[in-house]
A and B are shown apart, each in its own frame.
Chain A
Amino acid sequence: MLDYITSYLKSDLTPGSAGNLFWAFVYIVLIFLGLSVAVIAMNWLERKILAHMQVRLGPMRVGPHGLLQPIADALKLLIKEDIMPSAADPWVFWSAPLLVVITAFTVFVVVPFGPTHAVTDMNIGVLFMLGVSSLSVLGVVMAGWASNSHYPLMGALRSSAQMVSYEIAMGLAVISAVLMTSLNNEGTGTLSMIGIVQAQQAQHVWFAFKFFPLGLIAFFIFAVAMVAETNRAPFDLPEAESELTAGFHTEYSGFRWSLFFLAEYSAMIAVSSIAVTLWLGGWMRPFPNALNGETWDLVFSLVPGLTFLLLAAITFYSTARMPKHPYFKVQTIGLGGFGAVLALIGVALFIPPVRDRVQDIFWFSAKVAFSMYMYIWYRGTFPRYRFDQLMKVGWKVLLPLGIGVLVLTAIAGILF
């Protein structure tokens, strides 16, 4: 048994590919936990960042700087009364959030956090991700239909139309990236998520900058389509608050609603992961070719630790600025403790064996985090599209652009 566990450590495959169920299970648990923490963190970060964009403070009461606010919210949602409208279709109403949340989590099976840090490596990885994540529209439609109410129904109709039409532009952008993977001596492309990153490594370029500006346009198409795909501002029509109150989940509350919330944020992380893998070099650190050599390797390998130390420094600074009143004593200690934990993690990340192992995960997460920040930024900046305009952008702008980029990429691939 121990052999079974340790034998994997020597392999350079993902647990799924190596056929090691134990480590696959460990990875699944880790990803599940990590994702839940990420969603909680995103909840807090979104509220804070949005608040600072809007000249207000955001959550400040539960814990220092509202750090415990997401946990308080989660608890509140869990202990809320479970309400199901009497006119609702119970089974569909019950299964819709489950479907949404399951699809949102399942896609992470193929997300490569590093060359070996994925549950498994499928040869149809991208297809799997797109396929499974687009199943979530089914859950949304089910939720809207089962609620047996006007606003959810309209939200569901909107979201189904929206998700279906943006999926096409998204697919075209993905194909042009996949096409770029085939530009090697053998001429073999790949749909495997790990294979795509390795192709970028072999070609010494992130696909976003390949055949400038073709890669960038494809990335742009995907970046727009992924916002629409996840129903976020400015494409948040299915849950347009000012029009449809809450859209497809108007009738949901408590735990069921929190499942939709969880699914929305993990879907955001999932599509961001696809974008990062396909165009931003996945787990690779910035400038692997321009700034190569041992010195640069060392400099970049210190970044994860330094990032955490910086976070710890910010936390300590905030701790020092906490009010001196005895009422805030517990909060001050808590914030200081949080800073200490961050500092400890930062220091631990400098230890060479740890340092080498977390490199991939750190750079991948950093890129995804950047993409998540963009989501929040959009939300703070843009008004909402109208339904017909949304369709116009999808079908008349992104689709022709996607086809054009695809054709030009193919031509460029032959010429260069």
Chain B
Amino acid sequence: MTDRTTIDRTTIDRTSHLELEQHDKTFLDSNELIINMGPQHPATHGVLRVVLKLDGEKVLGTECVIGYLHRGVEKIAEHRTYTMFNPYVDRMDYVAAVSNGLGYCGAVEKLLNVEAPRRAQYIRVILTELNRLASHMLWLGTHALDIGAITPLFYTFRDREEILKIFEKYCGARLTTHAFRIGGCSYETYDGFEREVKKFLDFVAPKIDEYEELLTTNRIWVERTKDVGKISARECIALGVTGPVLRASGVKWDLRKAQPYAAYADFDFEIPVGENGDTYDRYIVRMQEMRQSLRIIDQAIGKIPDGPIMAKVAKVMKPPVGEIYHSIEAPKGELGYFIVSDGSTQPYRVRVRPPSFVNLQALDMMVRGALVADVIAVIGTLDIVLGEVDR
């Protein structure tokens, strides 16, 4: 199909290896079809480009071409002070901005050797768990939309709106919240915060049942997700896959339990795990995680301790020379910050370990031999955000 005369190989940047391979063949040599899925495609969740090698509907191989949303966040950090860089991290995983902030603030606090006050820790936990809910809701809506169920999207967006309203009231922003500051929280909770969060908990619990009613036992949904994109625990660990994807494969690994940060050690919650590591299990795990988040918020909201929300942190931060790695359980998996300090006001190097980027590696393994429709389902189930993949 490709007209070889019109394509000058040198003019195309980001040509994938699969495509180059195809160029060496003529049309008659091969029954294989190279299809570019993305970067503009309704189901690649942004600007992911997946080059598919197909034999009919069967996927022979995939290659992810990323970088279309690259903004050089890590490089920017080298020219900003620690405080100035804080809002930038919100722009990575923009559907879970609060988690990003929590991870970054936690890392710098470790570097500075300060600890946020108890009250700030509790507010952090509540907001982060609310954000986890929002992130999972967005995932559920878009994932279902990819598989063809268009209605859940609107239900989840309706309910996610309530979370965003709470964020907006708390810090003035809905998406890129910049809610936390190094050493605590930027803002005190507003009047009626506890009441509103409690009201939201009562509101959202039946809504999660509603989503499950639409999907969990839906014959087509089960057929589309069971045994699709299977990945074993061993493969997950080998690839560094974390988060719900890892847990759905049966590994009980959650950083909130494994190395508690903020105030997570105070709360009683479970880590939902799956068995088969298929798309359906990942769906179930995330649905249960939403309920666990509700449980955590419910426990936290009743007993926010009194006290200051900021620890004593110098206005001009000059962390001692050294390096630190701090990671948290973001909605998508392990979100880690590796910060090298040279003793100045600006970090020498910041490296982010983004869960989306690492999880995306598993795509090829999960879809090889599957059908085109499964690629869509797997991209959805990996729950990637391209802002975080490309940074």
A contacts, CB < 8 Å to B: 50, 53-56, 87, 148, 150-151, 154, 157-158, 233-234, 236-237, 240-245, 379-389
Residues of B within 8 A of A53 (CB): 151
List the one stretch of B66-74, B100-108, B370-378 in contact with chain A.
B370-378
Q: A242-B376, A388-B371 are in contact. Are A87 and B3 (CB under 8 A)?
A: yes
Q: A54-B150, A387-B371 are in contact. Are A243 and B43 (CB under 8 A)?
A: yes
Q: Specify which of B1, B158, B371 is in contact with A386 (CB 8 Å cutoff).
A: B371
Q: Is B168 an interface residue (CB 8 A)?
A: no
* Smallest CB separation, A235 vs chain B (Å): 10
Cα distance A382–B144 in the bound complex, in angstroms? 10
A234-B220, A384-B147 are known contacts; what are 9 more A-B pairs with Cβ within 8 Å? A54-B151, A54-B153, A150-B36, A154-B35, A234-B148, A381-B214, A382-B148, A386-B374, A389-B223
Q: Return the CB mask of B367-385 against A: 1 if under 8 Å, else 0.
A: 0000111101000000000
Q: Are B224 and A245 in contact (CB under 8 A)?
A: no
B: contact size bracket: 20 to 34
Q: Specify which of B148, B158, B371, B372 is in contact with A384 (CB 8 Å cutoff).
A: B148
Residues of B within 8 A of A236 (CB): 148
Q: Are B3 and A384 in contact (CB under 8 A)?
A: no
Residues of B within 8 A of A233 (CB): 148
Q: Specify which of A54, A148, A240, A381 is in contact with B373 (CB 8 Å cutoff).
A: A240
Going nearest first, the 6 A-B pairs with the smallest beta carbon separation are: A384-B148, A54-B154, A242-B43, A383-B149, A383-B148, A386-B373
Q: Is B221 an interface residue (CB 8 A)?
A: yes
Q: Is B312 an interface residue (CB 8 A)?
A: no
Q: Are B145 and A380 in contact (CB under 8 A)?
A: no
Subset of 13 A-B contacts with CB under 8 Å? A55-B155, A150-B1, A154-B35, A234-B148, A245-B42, A379-B150, A382-B218, A384-B147, A385-B223, A386-B371, A386-B373, A388-B371, A389-B220
Cα distance A373–B383 in the bound complex, in angstroms? 34
Interface centre among A53, A56, A158, A240 (most CB of B within 10 A): A240
Q: Count A-B contacts at CB 8 Å.
A: 88
Q: Specify which of B149, B223, B376 is in contact with A243 (CB 8 Å cutoff).
A: B376
Q: Specify which of A240, A387, A388 is in contact with B148 (CB 8 Å cutoff).
A: A240
SS of A interface (majority): helix
Task: Using CB atoms, name the residue of chain A closest to B148.
Answer: A384
Q: Which B residues, 24 to 69, have Cβ-Cβ distances below 8 Å to chain A?
A: 33, 35-36, 41-43, 56-57
Task: Using CB atoms, name the residue of chain A closest to B223.
Answer: A389
Q: A243-B372, A388-B371 are in contact. Are A55 and B148 (CB under 8 A)?
A: no
Q: Are B146 and A242 in contact (CB under 8 A)?
A: yes
Q: Return the CB mask of B206-243 against A: 1 if under 8 Å, else 0.
A: 00000000110010110110000000000000000000
Q: Which B residues, 162 to 182, have Cβ-Cβ distances below 8 Å to chain A?
A: none
Q: Are B224 and A384 in contact (CB under 8 A)?
A: yes
Residues of A within 8 A of B35 (CB): 150-151, 154
Task: Using CB atoms, name the residue of chain B closest to A389.
Answer: B223
Cα distance A158–B376 in the bound complex, in angstroms? 17
Q: Are A383 and B147 in contact (CB under 8 A)?
A: yes
Q: Which B residues, 117 to 153, have Cβ-Cβ distances below 8 Å to chain A?
A: 144-151, 153
Residues of B within 8 A of A158 (CB): 57
* Smallest CB separation, B209 vs chain A (Å): 16
Task: Using CB atoms, name the residue of chain A closest to B142.
Answer: A242
Cα distance A157–B35 in the bound complex, in angstroms? 15
Cα distance A240–B147 in the bound complex, in angstroms? 9
Residues of A within 8 A of B150 (CB): 50, 54, 379-380
Residues of A within 8 A of B149 (CB): 381-384
Q: Specify which of A244, A245, A379, A385 is in contact with B220 (CB 8 Å cutoff).
A: A385
Q: Are A384 and B42 in contact (CB under 8 A)?
A: no
Cα distance A157–B372 in the bound complex, in angstroms? 13
Task: Using CB atoms, name the residue of chain B closest to A148.
Answer: B1
Cα distance A311–B112 in the bound complex, in angstroms? 70
Q: Are A389 and B224 in contact (CB under 8 A)?
A: yes
Cα distance A241–B148 in the bound complex, in angstroms? 8
Q: A54-B154, A148-B1, A236-B148 are in contact. Are A241 and B373 (CB under 8 A)?
A: no
Cα distance A141–B154 in the bound complex, in angstroms? 34
Residues of A within 8 A of B376 (CB): 242-243
* Smallest CB separation, B11 vs chain A (Å): 18
Q: A242-B43, A382-B218 are in contact. Are A154 and B148 (CB under 8 A)?
A: no
Residues of A within 8 A of B41 (CB): 245
Residues of A within 8 A of B373 (CB): 237, 240, 243, 384, 386-387
Q: Specify which of B1, B155, B224 is in contact with A385 (CB 8 Å cutoff).
A: B224
Interface centre among B149, B223, B373 (most CB of A within 10 A): B373
* Smallest CB separation, A36 vs chain B (Å): 27
Q: Are A383 and B144 in contact (CB under 8 A)?
A: yes
Q: Are B145 and A242 in contact (CB under 8 A)?
A: yes
Q: Specify which of A87, A154, A380, A383 is in contact with B218 (CB 8 Å cutoff).
A: A383
Task: Using CB atoms, name the residue of chain B closest to A150.
Answer: B35
Residues of B within 8 A of A384 (CB): 147-149, 220, 224, 373
Cα distance A266–B41 in the bound complex, in angstroms? 29
Residues of A within 8 A of B220 (CB): 234, 382-385, 389
